[in-house]
Amino acid sequence: MRGISASEARELLEEKMGPAKLLSLLQRASELREKRCGNKLDTCSIINAKCGGCTEDCAFCAQSSSSKAEIEKYPLVSVETIFKAAAEASAHGAKNFGIVTSGRIVSERELDDICEAVRRIAASLPIIPCASLGILKEDSLIRLKESGLRRYHHNLETARSYFPQICGTRSYDAQTGTVLAAQKTGLEVCSGGIFGMGESFGQRVELLETLRSLNVTCVPINFLNPIPGTRLEGHCSLSPRDCIKIIAVARLMMPDTGIRVCGGREKNLRDMQSWLFAAGADSLMVGGYLVTPGREVKLDMQMISDAGYSL
């Protein structure tokens, strides 16, 4: 199913909707989600396996070269630490587990350890191993796949037309090229972005249209959590209703794609977090994020149950 046009998507995002019109939008999105997966949802969890010291200058990131945020910095954690985190995520009911590292790329030695961790997870745990390791070449992606990796994560972050305002140390072609390289190896791809960084309504749709054209497996939707010390410190432009509309429009544009709500949902959705499922999301990141905490996993599991869904 193709989904709505970019022009209709922009009109929906721009429209000032009253409660009745918003509920009508959510009904459309929810019906598409239900056709895709019924009342079944899934969750994922990540480990920040290498933190800080990044050479990239992303405006939103506490680990970037431009950030003055006070964070704990550490090299790649051990294979055992990664495995234990995956086991804990699995015990909490997560379907996917992502190994995330800071930096543009990983070294060969780091890749060796990550491949070993992936092998252990794939062989021993009922959880799908995923990774987000920066801009990798095809040979490295093949090594990861042969080790048991199922899905590679690489966010585009924002629209091509707005990307220079957010990151000046890599090109947008490098972003999309990484997605295409991962797909070429046969890996599933999880790719999305962050909303609320100052982009226009049109640029929000532009990002979603790019993701649709790339035919990614899953689109993670993040909302800016402005971290003190980053270039976007103090920037806050989204209301809970804005967030709900973004999720709904993403579902209407991509009826057959996974829509996963991730970072920034606690801060931006506030008391409307449970609405994200009615808006068309079919998955949720639980637990902590990269340098900011999430909320207790049991609270998210209770929210899923209370809303009438199951894993």
Chain segment 127-152, per-residue pLDDT in tens: 999 999 999 999 999 999 999 999 99
pLDDT at 67: 81
**Domains of the chain by range and CATH?**
6-302 (3.20.20.70)
Half-sphere exposure of 46 (CA within 13 A, CB side): 28
Question: 20: which 2 tokens?
Answer: 């009745």
pLDDT of residue 177: 97
Kindly state the tokens that stand for 1. 């199913």
Per-residue pLDDT of 250-292, as tens digits, reads: 999 999 999 999 999 999 999 999 999 999 999 999 987 777 7
Gap between the Cα atoms of 30 and 26, Å rounded: 6
Q: Give the distance, in angstroms, between the CA of residue 256 and the centroid of all CA atoms in the same chain.
A: 17
Residue 70, pLDDT score: 80
37-87: pLDDT as tens digits? 999 999 999 999 998 888 889 999 888 888 888 888 899 999 999 999 999
Contact 264, 295 (CB under 8 A): no
Q: Is 289 left (phi over 0), alpha (psi -120 to 50) or beta?
A: beta
Task: Provide the pLDDT for residue 295.
Answer: 86
With a cut of 90, say whether residue 241 has pLDDT above it.
yes
Q: Which element (helix H / strand E) includes 208? A: helix 201-214
In whole angstroms, how far apart are CA 33 and each of 36, 74, 105, 110, 120? 5, 40, 35, 38, 33
Amino acid identity of residue 56, one-letter, is E
pLDDT at 191: 98
Contacts of 207 (CB under 8 A, 6+ apart): 156, 158, 159, 193, 199
Strands (E), 75-141: 96-101, 128-132
pLDDT tops 90 at residue 294: no
Which residues are paired to 68 by β-bridges? none
pLDDT for the residue 2: 86
The predicted structure's pLDDT at residue 311? 87
* Helix, strand, coil distribution of the chain in percent, nearest 5: 45, 15, 40
Given a cut of 80, is residue 118 above it in pLDDT?
Answer: yes
Q: What is the pLDDT of residues 177-208, one digit of tens each?
A: 999 999 999 999 999 999 999 999 999 999 99
Q: Is the pLDDT of residue 293 over 80?
A: no
Q: Would you state the pLDDT for residue 211?
A: 99
pLDDT digits (tens, 9 = 90+) for 227-240: 899 999 988 889 99
Using DSSP, state whether 98 is helix, strand or coil. strand
- d(Cα 158, Cα 204) in Å, to the nearest integer? 7
> What 3-state class would DSSP assign to 157?
strand
Q: What is the 3-state secondary structure (H, E, C) of 34-89?
A: HHHHCCECEEEEEEEEEECCCCCCCCCCCCCCCCCCCCCCECCCCHHHHHHHHHHH
pLDDT over threshold 80, residue 307: yes
CA dist., res. 71 & res. 51, Å (int): 8
- Residue 42 to residue 158: CA distance in whole angstroms: 25
What is the pLDDT, as a whole number, of residue 237? 81
